[in-house]
């Protein structure tokens, strides 16, 4: 059974533990209350026993290519049956959140605790990408880069034609976009070639912004 990225355990031993827990929970009284047919429960129980036995053989000196393939197929069938149980019996009433947690599922918190206000300060270095494009590298000047509150960036910029008053403060910047990457790109209009781009970045998290980074400028290619 391949590694999964959803609720289903990616390791075979962990999957067996989950199924064993389900079987222990689903007494006759519970199966009746949840509307689970006895035949379906018996089939799941049989798949669990078969998979457990084949895994033991596959991990022992008895293993052969045939046993290894039988083990893989058995776990794939067991995983499919578990997905069926969740979709048809566990995600419908009368189960509640406590029942789902008991079955080993992680619930999504509808009221997550907000992470802190961003405190990091970042600067930006530009590099040439192509016509009317400037690459940017965002670099931490202060603050903890590992803090989740300091992970997103609001990139502010303004294009100023030659001969016009340059930007003197980040607060004068008028255009912006959000990025979660420390290496990104700013795209300009065709007619902006030869003009000067002024750029500054604020760390941003859920609309909350950290301190302004220093103002930098670059000639738009």
Measured distance CA(213)–CA(155) in Å, rounded: 10
Lowest mean pLDDT among 18-22, 107-111, 127-131: 107-111
Measured distance CA(38)–CA(20) in Å, rounded: 16
Measured distance CA(15)–CA(181) in Å, rounded: 35
Q: What is the pLDDT of residues 37-96, one digit of tens each?
A: 999 999 999 999 999 999 999 999 888 999 999 999 999 999 999 999 988 888 877 787
Q: Which of residues 157 and 7 earns the better pLDDT score? A: 157
Phi then psi for residue 170, to 5 deg, are -55, -25
- pTM for this entry: 0.49
Q: What is the pLDDT of residues 20-54, one digit of tens each?
A: 999 999 999 999 989 999 999 999 999 999 999 99
């Amino acid at each position: 059974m391949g590694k999964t990225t959803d609720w289903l355990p990616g390791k075979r031993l962990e999957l067996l533990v989950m199924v064993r827990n389900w079987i222990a929970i689903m007494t006759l009284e519970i199966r009746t209350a949840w509307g689970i047919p006895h035949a379906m429960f018996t089939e799941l129980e049989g798949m669990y026993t078969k998979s457990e036995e084949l895994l033991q053989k596959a991990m022992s000196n008895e293993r052969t290519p045939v046993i290894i393939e039988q083990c893989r197929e058995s776990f794939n069938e067991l995983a499919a049956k578990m997905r069926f149980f969740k979709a048809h019996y566990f995600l419908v009433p009368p189960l509640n959140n406590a029942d789902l947690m008991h079955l080993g599922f992680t619930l999504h918190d509808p009221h997550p605790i907000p992470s802190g206000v961003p405190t990091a300060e970042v600067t930006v270095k530009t590099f040439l990408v192509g016509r009317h494009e400037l690459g940017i590298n965002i670099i931490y000047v202060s603050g903890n880069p590992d803090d989740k509150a300091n992970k997103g960036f609001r990139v502010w910029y303004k294009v100023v034609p030659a001969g016009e008053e340059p930007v003197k403060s980040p607060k004068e910047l008028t255009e912006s976009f959000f990025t979660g990457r420390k290496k990104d790109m700013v795209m300009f209009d065709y007619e902006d070639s030869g003009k000067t781009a002024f750029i500054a970045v604020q760390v941003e998290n859920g609309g909350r912004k950290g301190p302004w980074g220093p103002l930098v400028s670059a000639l738009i290619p």
